[in-house]
Amino acid sequence: MQFFIDTANLDEIKEAQALGVLDGVTTNPTLMMKDGVSGDENQRQRYLDICEVVEGDVSAEVIATDFEGIIKEGEQLAALHPQIVVKVPMIKDGIKALKYFSDKGIKTNCTLVFSPGQALLAAKAGATYVSPFIGRIDDTTIDGAELIAQIRHIFDNYGFETQILAASIRNPMHIIKCAEFGADVATCPLSAILGLMKHPLTDIGLAQFIADYKKVNSVTA
Ligand code: E4P
């Protein structure tokens, strides 16, 4: 299972990269806004800066919603850096664009996916990644992680190579459920990745080991 970080913040990306467990990055217009990155030029520079930090795929989202606009914007984004993956919304012209980019060998991430049917369409169109938004589904009182299991089942039935990129992850439990249900990638806030390592028994056990070591060794610190 690959770990992507879901942010446009360079410090968080560097911290996750330093952990040695980072495989890629996803961004979206809201994450750019949250990090105060405005204007096409600054946003493109931010994608380049992110590509300097990580070695894996970096999703950059198009704003256009018509076929020609998505193609123009997507080709410009893809030309920025070989690590850029063009993030395309799950709409009719988006599906057409996924097929176009797939035929051209440009990597894509189909975003805003909330149902198995949407995921199936994205896979048929040749998307590299499909992004089911599990946290936002949870917000509607439906278990979002179940969608990962459904998509996994469908993709495995037919051998689709489209990777399931679980998105809208809010906490460590989401990551565990995605791993159980066979997501290829989880894109997570840094807090959720760091949360995976926490366990009170680890802290208690470590404190005990250090205390016992000090009892039989002359450590002054
Ligand atoms: C990433 O690709 C998605 O845009 C992101 O995970 C959405 O997360 P949110 O539902 O927390 O905004």
Compute the mean pLDDT over every residue in the chain, rounded to the nearest whole number.
Answer: 97
Nearest to residue 106, comparing CAs of 129, 131, 132, 133? Answer: 129
Q: Band the pLDDT of 211: cuts 50, 70, 90.
A: very high
CA of 187 to the centre of ligand 1 (A): 8
Query: Quick one: tokens of 205?
Result: 């056990």
| Residues 159-184, mean pLDDT to the nearest whole number | 98
Q: What is the pLDDT of residues 85-113, one digit of tens each?
A: 999 999 999 999 999 999 999 999 999 99
Q: What is the pLDDT of residues 149-168, one digit of tens each?
A: 999 999 999 999 999 999 99
Question: Which residue lies with its CA nearest to atom 11 of ligand 1?
Answer: 168
Distance 80 CA to ligand 1 centre (A): 23
Q: Is residue 129 very low, low, confident or very high in pLDDT (cuts 50, 70, 90)? A: very high
Residues with CB under 6 A from ligand 1: 6, 26, 28, 111, 131, 133, 135-136, 167-168, 187
Question: Cβ of 167: how many Cβ atoms within 10 Å?
Answer: 29
59 CA closest ligand 1 atom index: 2
Contact 54, 24 (CB under 8 A): yes
* pTM of the model as a whole: 0.96
Task: Give the percent of the chain with pLDDT over 70.
Answer: 99
The owner of tokens 């979002």 is 144
- Distances, alpha carbon 94 to alpha carbons 49, 125, 183, 196, in Å: 27, 10, 23, 35
Checking if the pLDDT of 219 tops 90, the result is: no
- The predicted pLDDT at position 220 comes to 61
Shortest CA distance to 113 belongs to which of 190, 187, 168, 179? 168
Alpha carbon of 133 to ligand 1 centroid (Å): 7
